[in-house]
């Protein structure tokens, strides 16, 4: 059953209180194949800085300036932006009551989401003990995360899809079954 969530974020800092540019969410079954459901969220940037004092780092801005035009447009454009609170409410609903929440590294995407939810006085939709780290799994299974062909690197939804697919590949390689 597809009851795990993969989360990927593009941000303007590496601090947990960073401005969030985009969020990609994927519902998937780590034991299965394919993706069950996706959600892409784009919170307003100005609201995060002006109303919530979320952070922008100059080094991160410089890093974004060195990325592809496609990646910059995807992350920084005003297209389809919604309020920060609405964004986090949608994230909460998508993640509520799922088996596990995954991210590519245990110390960033999930932590940023939890910090944003807490900042908005919202509950965290997952128990702390259900957080999973892809990098550790990939190393144990001997699989590598590679960019998807014809997809923009640093596009949160594309990255989340690819990460979920590699989790499925790792489970299969390790012989993990239900």
Q: Give 104-119 pLDDT, tens digit per residue.
A: 998 999 999 999 999 9
pLDDT of residue 15: 98
26 SS3 class: strand
Tokens 């922008």 found at: 56
Domain ranges of the chain: 4-173
Pair type for strands 100-103 and 4-11 = parallel
79 phi and psi angles, rounded to 5 deg: -55, 130
Sign (positive or negative) of CA dihedral 159, 161, 166, 171: positive
Does the global pTM surpass 0.85?
Answer: yes
Q: Which of 164, 119, 155, 160 is nearest to 10 (CA)?
A: 155
> What is the CATH topology of the domain spanning 4-173?
Nucleotidyltransferase; domain 5 (3.30.420)
pLDDT-derived band at 162 (thresholds 50, 70, 90) equals very high
CA triplet 171, 175, 178: central angle to 5 degrees?
75
Q: Do 35 and 167 meet the contact criterion of CB atoms below 8 Å apart? A: no
SS3 29: coil
- pLDDT over threshold 90, residue 146: no
Give 28-84 pLDDT, tens digit per residue: 999 999 999 999 999 999 999 999 999 999 999 999 999 999 999 999 999 999 999
Q: What are phi and psi of 50, to 5 degrees?
A: -75, -45
């Amino acid at each position: 059953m597809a009851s795990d969530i993969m989360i990927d974020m593009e941000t303007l800092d590496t601090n947990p209180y960073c401005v969030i540019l985009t969020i990609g969410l994927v519902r998937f079954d780590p034991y299965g194949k394919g993706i069950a459901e996706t959600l892409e969220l784009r919170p307003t940037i100005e609201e995060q800085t002006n109303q919530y004092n979320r952070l922008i780092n100059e080094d991160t801005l410089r890093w974004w300036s060195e990325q592809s035009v496609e990646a910059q447009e995807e992350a920084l454009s005003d297209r389809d932006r919604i309020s920060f609170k609405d964004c986090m409410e949608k994230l909460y609903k998508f993640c509520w009551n799922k088996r596990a929440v995954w991210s590519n590294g245990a110390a960033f995407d999930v932590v940023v989401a939890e910090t944003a939810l807490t900042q908005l006085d919202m509950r965290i939709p997952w128990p702390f003990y259900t957080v999973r780290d892809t990098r550790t799994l990939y190393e144990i299974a001997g699989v590598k995360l590679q960019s998807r062909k014809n997809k923009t690197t640093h596009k949160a939804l594309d990255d989340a899809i690819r990460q979920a697919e590699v989790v499925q590949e790792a489970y299969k390689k390790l012989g993990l079954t239900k």
